[in-house]
Every structure is written in C-alpha cells, then in structure tokens.
Amino acid sequence: MTVKIAVLVSGRGSNLQAIIDSIEKGHINNARISVVISNKADAYALERARKYGIDAVFLDPAGHDRAGYDREILNILAEHDTDLLLLAGYFRLLGSEIIEAYRHRVLNIHPSLLPAFKGLHAQRQAFEYGVKVAGCTVHFVDEGLDSGPIILQSCVPVLPGDTEETLTARILEQEHIIYPEAVRLFVEGKLKVEGRNVIALD
Ligand code: GRF
C-alpha cells in the first residue's frame, strides 16, 4: 500500500525538498506526496512541488476564519485520500478539527530541542539564551504549541564565533536528515505512541 502524504507549507520548502529527495532516492518506499498546500501564494515550496508533478495548491486565507480555512484544508486532504500530513515550515496554527481527524498522523519539524524554545524564531531564542547545544525536533502535532510527542531529535554545538545565521544553517542540515527519517519510520509503521513516548521499532 502506498502512503499518501500531504504537506502544508508557507515558504522556502527546503524540508519538503529533503522529503521529495528521500522518496526519489528510494530511502522512503511505498509513499508519495500527493498534494502540497500553501497559505502564501509566492511560497517557493509550491514551485518545488510543481517541478515534480505534485499538485500544488495556494489556499488563500483571506475571507476565511480559522475553522473555515481548516475545513478547506480538510476537504483537500480528503480529496487526496491523505494518510499522513506533514507541516514543513507552515506558519499558521492548525485547528483542532484537523488534529482530531488526523490524530497521530500529523508531523512537524521545529528548529529547537523541544521543549526548549517553542514558537517563532526558535534558533534566535536559543542563540540569545546562550545555550551550548542546539538542535531540532520532529514531533507529532497535538493541540498545544510545539508540544506533541517527540519522534526524533538531533543536536548541534553552538560554536565560538557563531551568529544566529550560522547556527540556523547548522540546525537546518540536521532538519533535512531527521525529517525524512521520521517520515520513513511512519511510512514503515514503525512508530508506536505510548502517552508522551514515541517508540521507534527500527
Ligand atoms: C525550518 O527551520 C523548520 O524547522 C521551521 O521552519 C523552517 C522551514 O524551512 N518550522 P523550509 O521552508 O523547510 O526551508
């Protein structure tokens, strides 16, 4: 059975690209991205999707309240028979309707070692706090902000001479490794959620 993946994006889409590449290279088997949805018309992620023949949809938030917007998303997900929903640089909060409909089937990547530095500009928060180790987290999405059960994390050192930009780049490299890896584990049915704990049966 092929796992059908939908991806929500708002911008550049480098994590989307990393997942596309993993599927193309056969690191993730039995999965395909069936649709990419953006809340921004000019998101480069939409172009990346089109290049691979993936349905790329700009869904304009104007004129919708949040629940209405999320219902539009749910319709698109249903049309594409979606099994797994990925947030990849999607800068909007997801409403509870989607989360309930896709419980333990929505993943997000966050550029900090959660539960530290939730929310926007996580790398800047870490840098300004003066941590010596930073990193990124792939987690299931629940109703809270960056609070769902953690699937994978990767850490990087904060080096003397780093700026927010160099640290962000070092974290991003790790994002591109652990997000596709988490997707692979999901697709292979290897993730078991027990309360807050996610067990990877690999
Ligand atoms: C990444 O840093 C991700 O962790 C965060 O938003 C950024 C998206 O980058 N949620 P991209 O659009 O995947 O290049």
- Which atom of ligand 1 is found nearest the CA of 10? 12
Q: Of the candidates 102, 127, 149, which is a domain's last residue?
A: 102
| Confidence check: pLDDT of 147 > 90 | yes
Mean pLDDT score, 38-66: 97
| Confidence check: pLDDT of 83 > 90 | yes
Confidence at residue 170, expressed as pLDDT on a 0 to 100 scale? 98
Together in a domain, 155 and 79: no
Q: Under 8 Å CB-to-CB from 93, ≥6 apart: which residues?
A: 66, 145
Q: Of the candidates 48, 82, 102, which is a domain's last residue?
A: 102
| Confidence check: pLDDT of 30 > 90 | yes
Mean pLDDT score, 165-193: 98
| Confidence check: pLDDT of 135 > 90 | yes
| Confidence check: pLDDT of 65 > 90 | yes
Together in a domain, 20 and 35: yes
Question: Domain count of the chain?
Answer: 2
Confidence at residue 46, expressed as pLDDT on a 0 to 100 scale? 98
Q: Of the candidates 74, 102, 130, which is a domain's last residue?
A: 102
- Which atom of ligand 1 is found nearest the CA of 123? 2
pLDDT interval class at 202 (50, 70, 90) = confident
176 is an active site residue: no
Convert 35-65 to b/e letters by CB count within 10 Å (16 or more is b).
bbbbbbeebbbbebbeebebebbebeeeeee
Q: Cβ(48)–Cβ(19) under 8 Å?
A: no
How do residues 53-62 score in pLDDT, each as one tens digit? 999 999 999 9
Lining ligand 1 with CB less than 6 A are 11-15, 88-89, 109-111, 172, 175
Average pLDDT value over all residues in the chain: 98
Mean pLDDT score, 65-69: 95
Mean pLDDT score, 107-122: 98
Together in a domain, 14 and 57: yes
Q: How far is the CA of 108 from the centre of ligand 1 (A)?
A: 10
Domain ranges, residue 24: 1-102
27, 80, 110, 121: the catalytic one is: 110
* CATH number for the domain that contains residue 168: 3.40.50.170
